[in-house]
C-alpha cells in the first residue's frame, strides 16, 4: 500500500476496504490523543487534476492532504498508463456511504456541511433511516464569510468524528485547508455533490455506466450545463497519452546499449 505520482499528484493505491481501515486509524488517533490534527481526504477526479496542472496552489492543497483517492475513471486510466498499476476507484459517494454504513457499529459521529438549504438535512434523514448513521448535525453550503465562524463553532460543538464537506471541488478542498487549524475534527472529506444524490434530489449513474467508467457521460446527460467543465476530460486523456509516450522514450534512452564488437578481437 502506498502512493503513486500521477501528473504531480500523490495518489493512494488503496482499494475501498484498505481506505476505510486507514481512515478508521486516523479517527482513532484523533480520539485517543485528543490531538487537533485534522486529516484531509481528497477524492480526486481528472477534471481537478487537469486544473491543478496550471494552478500550483491547487496542486499544493492536493499534495498536503493526508490521503488522495482515485474518484474518477480518468485517474484509474492514468494510474495504469503512467505507473502500470491497476487500481480501484474509491469515489467520494462510495466512501461516504461506506463510512456512514459503519457509523453506528464503529461509534463514528458525522456532520454534513454543504449543498443547497434543505439538501444536507434530507441526506442526513436518509442516512439515519437507511444505516442508522449517527448524524450529529448539518448545515447548507451557502453561508456568508460572517456566518462562517458560527458554522465552524457549531461543528466543533457537535464533536463529529467525520466532517463531510460538499461544497463542490475544488472549493471544498480550499475551504478545508483554510480552516484546518480551527476545526476540531479528526477527518474531513470533500464529497462534492454527494448530498444531492443521497438526499434523492439527483440520481447517480446506473451501475452499468459506473462499471464501464462512463459515469461522466451520465452526469453530462443529466446536467448538460457541465459540458464546459467536462472539456477537461479529453484534454486530460491527451495529456496522459503524451506523458506515457515521454516516459517510454526516456526509458528507451536509459536502456544500456549493446556493446559494439571490435574487429580483430
Ligand atoms: N455548493 C455549496 N456551496 C457553494 C457552491 C456549491 O454548497 O457555494 C454545493 C452545491 O449545492 C452542490 C455541490 O456543492 O451540492 C457541488 O456539486 P458538484 O456536483 O458541482 O460538485 P463536484 O461533485 O463536481 O465536485
For the segment 69-112, what is each residue's pLDDT rounded down to a tens digit?
A: 999 999 999 999 999 999 999 999 999 999 999 999 999 999 99
141 CB near ligand 1 (under 6 Å): yes
pLDDT at residue 186, rounded to an integer? 96
Distance of CA 221 to the CA centre of its chain: 23
In a domain, 254, yes or no: no
Q: Which of 116, 148, 166, 197 to mutate to test the pocket of ligand 1 (most atoms within 8 A of CB)?
A: 166
Q: Which of 71, 115, 168, 201 to mutate to test the pocket of ligand 1 (most atoms within 8 A of CB)?
A: 168
116 CB near ligand 1 (under 6 Å): yes
pLDDT at residue 37, rounded to an integer? 85
Q: What number does the ligand 1 atom closest to the CA of 223 have?
A: 19
In a domain, 211, yes or no: no
**What is the chain's length?**
265
Which residue in 6, 9, 102, 115 sits closest to 59, CA to CA? Answer: 9
Pairing type for strands 9-12 and 3-6 reads antiparallel
pLDDT at residue 253, rounded to an integer? 87
Q: Grid cell 516516459 — which residue?
A: 247
In a domain, 208, yes or no: no
196 CB near ligand 1 (under 6 Å): yes
Ramachandran category for residue 258: left, alpha or beta (phi over 0 → left; psi -120 to 50 → alpha): beta
pLDDT at residue 263, rounded to an integer? 65
Return the beta strands (E) in 105-249 as ranges.
109-114, 134-139, 162-166, 187-190
CA 23/CA 185 separation, integer angstroms: 13
In a domain, 244, yes or no: no
pLDDT at residue 224, rounded to an integer? 92
In a domain, 86, yes or no: yes
Q: Grid cell 438549504 — which residue?
A: 117
What phi and psi, each to the nearest 5 degrees, are found at residue 210?
Answer: -65, -45
pLDDT at residue 31, rounded to an integer? 78
pLDDT at residue 261, rounded to an integer? 67
Q: What number does the ligand 1 atom closest to the CA of 114 have?
A: 7
Residue nearest to ligand 1 atom 19, measured at CA: 193
Residues 6 or more apart from 181 whose CB is under 8 A from it?
Answer: 36
CA 39/CA 41 separation, integer angstroms: 6
Burial class of residue 50 in the structure, from the number of CB atoms within 10 Å of its CB (0-12 exposed, 13-18 middle, 19+ buried): buried
Q: Which helix (H) or strand (E) holds 47?
A: helix 46-52
pLDDT at residue 264, rounded to an integer? 56
168 CB near ligand 1 (under 6 Å): yes
pLDDT at residue 63, rounded to an integer? 98
Q: What number does the ligand 1 atom closest to the CA of 170 have?
A: 25
Which residue in 79, 96, 263 sits closest to 165, CA to CA? Answer: 96
- End-to-end CA separation in angstroms for the chain: 51
In a domain, 139, yes or no: yes
pTM summary value: 0.93
In a domain, 219, yes or no: no
Cis peptide upstream of residue 170 (ω within 30 degrees of 0): yes
Domain boundaries, position 34: 3-202
DSSP category for residue 72? S
pLDDT at residue 230, rounded to an integer? 87
190 CB near ligand 1 (under 6 Å): no
Q: What number does the ligand 1 atom closest to the CA of 116 have?
A: 11
pLDDT at residue 154, rounded to an integer? 98
Q: Specify whether the CB–CB gap between 4 and 10 falls below 8 A.
A: yes
pLDDT at residue 48, rounded to an integer? 97
Instruction: Point out the residues of the chain with pLDDT beneath 70.
Output: 33-35, 260-265
Number of folded domains that form the chain: 1
| Cα 114 to middle of ligand 1, angstroms | 7
In a domain, 228, yes or no: no
Cell of 16: 475501498
Q: What number does the ligand 1 atom closest to the CA of 48 have?
A: 25
Largest separation between any pair of C-alpha atoms in the chain: 87
Q: Specify whether the CB–CB gap between 160 and 134 falls below 8 A.
A: no
Amino acid at each position: 500500500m502506498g502512493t503513486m505520482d500521477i501528473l504531480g499528484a500523490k495518489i493512494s493505491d488503496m482499494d475501498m476496504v484498505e481506505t476505510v481501515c486507514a481512515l478508521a486509524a486516523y479517527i482513532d488517533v484523533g480520539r485517543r490523543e485528543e490531538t487537533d490534527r485534522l486529516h484531509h481526504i481528497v477524492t480526486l477526479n481528472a477534471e481537478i487534476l487537469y486544473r491543478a496542472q496550471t494552478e500550483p496552489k491547487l496542486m499544493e492543497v492536493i499534495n498536503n492532504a493526508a490521503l488522495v483517492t482515485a474518484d474518477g475513471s480518468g485517474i484509474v486510466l492514468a494510474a495504469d498508463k503512467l505507473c502500470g498499476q491497476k487500481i480501484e476507484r474509491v469515489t467520494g459517494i462510495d466512501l461516504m456511504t461506506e463510512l456512514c454504513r459503519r457509523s453506528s457499529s464503529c461509534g463514528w459521529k458525522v456532520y454534513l456541511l454543504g449543498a443547497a438549504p434543505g439538501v444536507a438535512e434530507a441526506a442526513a434523514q436518509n442516512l439515519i433511516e437507511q444505516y442508522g448513521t449517527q448524524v450529529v448535525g448539518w448545515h447548507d453550503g451557502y453561508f456568508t464569510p460572517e456566518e462562517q465562524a458560527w458554522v465552524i463553532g457549531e461543528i466543533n460543538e457537535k464533536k463529529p468524528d467525520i466532517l463531510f464537506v460538499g461544497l463542490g471541488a475544488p472549493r471544498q478542498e480550499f475551504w478545508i485547508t483554510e480552516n484546518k487549524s480551527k476545526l476540531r475534527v479528526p477527518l474531513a472529506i470533500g464529497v462534492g455533490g454527494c448530498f444531492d444524490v443521497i438526499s434523492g434530489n439527483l440520481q447517480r449513474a446506473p451501475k452499468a455506466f459506473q462499471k464501464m467508467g462512463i459515469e461522466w457521460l451520465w452526469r453530462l446527460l443529466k446536467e448538460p450545463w457541465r459540458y464546459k467543465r467536462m472539456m477537461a476530460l479529453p484534454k486530460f486523456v491527451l495529456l496522459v497519452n503524451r506523458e506515457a509516450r515521454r516516459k517510454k522514450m526516456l526509458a528507451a534512452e536509459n536502456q544500456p546499449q549493446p556493446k559494439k564488437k571490435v574487429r580483430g578481437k
